[in-house]
Structures are given as C-alpha cells and as structure tokens.
Amino acid sequence: MNTKGFTLLEMVVATGILAVIVVLSVGIFSRFVSVQEQASQTQLLLEGVRSSLEIMNREIRTGFGSTYAVADGAGKGVLLRNQDGICVYYRWQNQGLERAEAEVGGTECSLGDFGGADYARLTHSKVVIENMRFDAVPSDVVAGRLENQGFVTIILDATTEQGAGLPLHLQSTVSSRQVVPYSEG
C-alpha cells in the first residue's frame, strides 16, 4: 500500500518542534528588547547628568571662587558670582538640578536674592536625582590677594524615571580659574 501524506504522529512531532522554536524565539526577542531598553535608559541617564553637570561645572570654573557659598545648611544648593558678575544659584529641587540668576549689588550673593527668581531645570525630566549635595570652599583672600583657589564639590545619586537605567553615583570637584577676588574683578 503506497499512500502519500503524514501520519498523526509525524504532525504532532513537527508541531511540537515548531512550538519549541517559537517559544525560544519569543524569549530571545523579549530579552533583546529588555536589554535594549535598559541600555537606552542608561544612555539617557549618563547623557542627562553629563550635560547638566558640564553646564554647571563650566560656570563654577569660570566664576569667582571668592564668592562660592553653600546656600543652606543641608548643602542642597550652591551660590556664586559668575564671570559676568551675576549671582547664580544651583540647587537640587524636585529630583532635578535647577539654575537661577539674580543681578544684585555688593560682593556677596545670598539665598534671599533669589526670592522671585525663575528657575530653569538643567536635567532631563526622565532623569531622577535621588540625592545631591554641594560643598563649597571659597578662595582665601589675604590683603586683597587670592591665597588659595576656591572649589565646589558635587555629590549625586541618580537614576532614570522608570528605574531601568543603572544607578549612577558621582562626585565631582571643580575649582575656580579666576585669579582675583570678585571685589577686584
């Protein structure tokens, strides 16, 4: 007897093999998508923190070190006069880094100068800064001369909004390049 076709057993075996291949393919694809999403979130985190810190570091570096001050006892903000003589306030607020400026006279900048200031968020809305602290040491001015450069240390912990990016722990110290105190600038 010569019949053409497949037996029921052959169909069951072929269907089983196909099901295994489909399940493995779906698993591999979903893992690939998950890894890609995590890599994307990590890239967003790194770029978001890097760009906002670069803006802040550049202004701190070119600002007057004799004016560096921690804005509050908790170190959640830092005040300084930038190279244009404008008071600038960087703060950790609403899980992001914010910047405001105020034009005030005198040599000192104070938190009270920023009562009605407009704050610009520097970090991407999907970047979450979970913790941030500023330490500021102003330049030592003796007899009208700078004895030591001032510096600001920034410590932060950040992740992405969805928590998919790896947590980032960062510390950066920036010193002033100004060689004269603000009172003489």
Q: Is 65 inside a domain boundary?
A: yes
pLDDT at 65: 87
pLDDT at 107: 79
How many domains does the chain divide into? 1
Count of helices and strands (H, E) across the chain: 1, 10
Supply φ then ψ for residue 177, to 5 degrees: -100, -5
Residue 84's domain spans which residues?
A: 9-184
Q: Is 137 inside a domain boundary?
A: yes
Reduced to 3 states, what is the DSSP secondary structure of residue 95? coil
pLDDT at 121: 95
Q: Is 49 inside a domain boundary?
A: yes
Q: Please say whether the beta carbons of 78 and 56 come within 8 A.
A: no
Question: What are the respective helix, strand and coil percentages of the chain, to the nearest 5?
Answer: 35, 35, 30
Calpha distance 146→16 (Å, rounded): 80
**What's the pTM value of the predicted model, to 2 decimals?**
0.79
Q: Please say whether the beta carbons of 138 and 81 come within 8 A.
A: no
Q: Is 159 inside a domain boundary?
A: yes
pLDDT per residue rounded down to tens, the chain (185 residues): 567 788 889 899 999 999 999 999 999 999 999 888 888 888 888 898 999 999 999 999 999 888 899 988 889 999 999 999 999 999 999 999 999 999 888 878 889 999 889 999 999 888 999 999 999 998 887 777 777 888 999 999 998 877 666 788 999 999 988 877 776 55
Q: Is 2 inside a domain boundary?
A: no
Reduced to 3 states, what is the DSSP secondary structure of residue 165? coil
Q: Is 3 inside a domain boundary?
A: no
Calpha distance 172→185 (Å, rounded): 26
Q: Is 4 inside a domain boundary?
A: no
Q: Is 79 inside a domain boundary?
A: yes
Calpha distance 11→22 (Å, rounded): 16
Which strand (E) or helix (H) includes residue 152?
strand 151-160
Structure tokens at 175: 């010193």
pLDDT at 184: 57
Calpha distance 91→121 (Å, rounded): 10
